[in-house]
Amino acid sequence: MNEKYIKAKEFGFKNLEPYSKAVDIEGRFPIEGYKSMQNEGYFSLLVPKEYGGQGENLLAHAEICLGLSESCPSAALAYMMHNTATRAMALYGQEDIKKEILKKVVAKEVTLGLAYSERGTGAHFYIPDATSKDDGDHVILNGVKSMVTGAGFVDYFLTLVKAEEDDSLHVYAVPTNIDGVDFEEGVWDGVGLRGNESKPMIMKNARVSKDLELKNIGDEDKEIFLIGLASVSAGLAQRAADEVAAYVQKREYTHAKNLADIESVQVNLGSMYAKAFSARETILAAARLADLSPLGAFPELFSARIVSTEAALDNAVDGMRAFGGKGYVRHDLVMERIMRDSFAGQIMAPGTDVLKIWLGRMLVGLNYIDIFK
């Protein structure tokens, strides 16, 4: 097993897991784990070395996200969003502002996130209703981003808008401390991944410098986003298998043998582990290919996301069957939380149905999508 994955897994169970139950019950952002990851230096993983960062690749991102997600998928999701935004800033940010923001990331002063989704377009987050209006060396932003992970805790959100002048699409690194940017409170009560704090970000005449616009945007940041989401699901699939393996060895009946001795339980557990292993290795293979061939691994990346999401769903169902009624009690055994968390991946944009459409289009020689041309 890779060293980065092992270290991230150990770090997660030491620093994220102790708060994961409270985060779930209270439906709050995993601030303790988030700060621990920042203090450990994880947030500088993808900052180029020229700005003081680690300059790591997609494979390292995958390995760490996989390790962290086994203990607290909400914290891992916030982390992968930061990494996605960091990579986009490194690739497409204007030099002066890129240097300023990324150096602050390395100094552990700021974190980044994504604000793309909207109520009106749902999973089709690449079609925004939020607008920008030219105002000299600034733009004026208006609109509502609906499910913004880490709302209220992140310093800059990469925000997709369309220009009022010509409907062209633009992305700005929007500071969260400026006038005209607010977050709607009291609305987040997710079924699973309850630590996301995915609240609406409201922009009312928010004045943002044009220096904060990302330029010449391509597809390279999308690779890391797909890997991150896939890794969270794969981590959940693995945690489900591990929890079942531990539980069935302890569960004994007064009238019969140990649960682990039952052949059908062994069959289901073997299937769960195989699905988790397949999901993890598919992600790592796709990440390696993406590192070797930038923009040439989208079929594999789409496949990794599909495989991992479905593995998490399957293992959540099979895991609950193994735990039985004892596992179905809220906030008692961890399996019910894993089940709720696992069901989120299928609807997180781009959802699995959209991914299968995009994959099918690519396999017959069609562009899956290109929103910036």
If asked whether residues 208 and 138 sit together in one domain, one would say yes
If asked whether residues 184 and 313 sit together in one domain, one would say no
If asked whether residues 127 and 159 sit together in one domain, one would say yes
Confidence category of residue 261, pLDDT binned at 50, 70, 90: confident
Say what the pLDDT of residue 1 is. 60
The rounded distance, in Å, linking the Cα atoms of 260 and 270 is 12
How many other CB atoms sit within 10 Å of the CB of residue 353? 12
If asked whether residues 159 and 282 sit together in one domain, one would say no
Final residue of a structural domain among 195, 214, 233:
214
Tokens representing residue 142 in the block:
């208006």
370 within some domain: no
User: Could you report the per-residue pLDDT of 143-188, keeping only the tens digit for each?
Assistant: 999 999 999 999 999 999 999 999 999 999 999 999 999 999 989 9
43 near 86, Cβ under 8 Å?
Answer: yes
147 near 198, Cβ under 8 Å?
Answer: yes
Tokens representing residue 369 in the block:
């999508």
Q: What's the chain look like in SS3?
A: CCHHHHHHHHHHHHHCHHHHHHHHHHCCCCHHHHHHHHHHCHHHCCCCHHHCCCCCCHHHHHHHHHHHHCCCHHHHHHHHHHHHHHHHHHHHECHHHHHHHHHHHHCCCCCEEEECCCCCCCCCCCCCCCEEEEECCEEEEEEEEEEECCCCCCCEEEEEEEECCCCCEEEEEEECCCCCEEECCCCCCCCCCHHHCCEEEEEEEEEEEHHHEECCCCCHHHHHHHHHHHHHHHHHHHHHHHHHHHHHHHCCCCCCCCHHHCHHHHHHHHHHHHHHHHHHHHHHHHHHHHHHCCCCCHHHHHHHHHHHHHHHHHHHHHHHHHHHHHHHCCCCCCHHHHHHHHCCHHHCCCCHHHHHHHHHHHHCCCCCCCCCC
Confidence category of residue 256, pLDDT binned at 50, 70, 90: low
Q: What's 1-64 look like in SS3?
A: CCHHHHHHHHHHHHHCHHHHHHHHHHCCCCHHHHHHHHHHCHHHCCCCHHHCCCCCCHHHHHHH
Residue 89's domain is classified under what CATH number? 1.10.540.10
Amino acid at 156: Y
If asked whether residues 14 and 132 sit together in one domain, one would say no
If asked whether residues 140 and 102 sit together in one domain, one would say no
173 near 93, Cβ under 8 Å?
Answer: yes
User: Could you report the per-residue pLDDT of 15-31, keeping only the tens digit for each?
Assistant: 999 999 999 999 999 99
Work out whether strand 169-175 and strand 112-115 pair parallel, antiparallel, or are unpaired.
unpaired
350 within some domain: yes
Smallest Cα–Cα separation from 345: which of 151, 126, 128, 196? 196
For residue 268, the enclosing domain spans 219-364
Residue with tokens 């980065």: 4
If asked whether residues 90 and 124 sit together in one domain, one would say no
If asked whether residues 347 and 238 sit together in one domain, one would say yes
**Mean pLDDT (whole number) for 104-131:** 90
CA distance from start to end of the chain: 41
Residue 312's domain is classified under what CATH number? 1.20.140.10
Final residue of a structural domain among 185, 214, 243:
214
Higher pLDDT, 337 or 119: 337
266 within some domain: yes
191 within some domain: yes
If asked whether residues 251 and 314 sit together in one domain, one would say yes
- 208 DSSP β-pair partners: 139
* pLDDT score of 240 more than 50: yes
Final residue of a structural domain among 180, 214, 248:
214
Number of domains observed in the structure of the chain: 3
* pLDDT score of 214 more than 90: yes
Q: Calculate ∠ Cα 287-56-302, nearest 5°.
A: 20
373 within some domain: no
Say what the pLDDT of residue 42 is. 99
User: Could you report the per-residue pLDDT of 326-339, keeping only the tens digit for each?
Assistant: 888 888 889 999 99
Confidence category of residue 253, pLDDT binned at 50, 70, 90: confident
If asked whether residues 235 and 331 sit together in one domain, one would say yes
If asked whether residues 14 and 64 sit together in one domain, one would say yes
107 within some domain: yes
103 within some domain: yes
Residue 123's domain is classified under what CATH number? 2.40.110.10
Instruction: Please provide residue 53's backbone torsions phi and psi, each rounded to the nearest 5 degrees.
Output: -85, -175
159 within some domain: yes
User: Could you report the per-residue pLDDT of 46-85, keeping only the tens digit for each?
Assistant: 999 999 999 999 999 999 999 999 999 999 999 999 999 9
If asked whether residues 233 and 196 sit together in one domain, one would say no
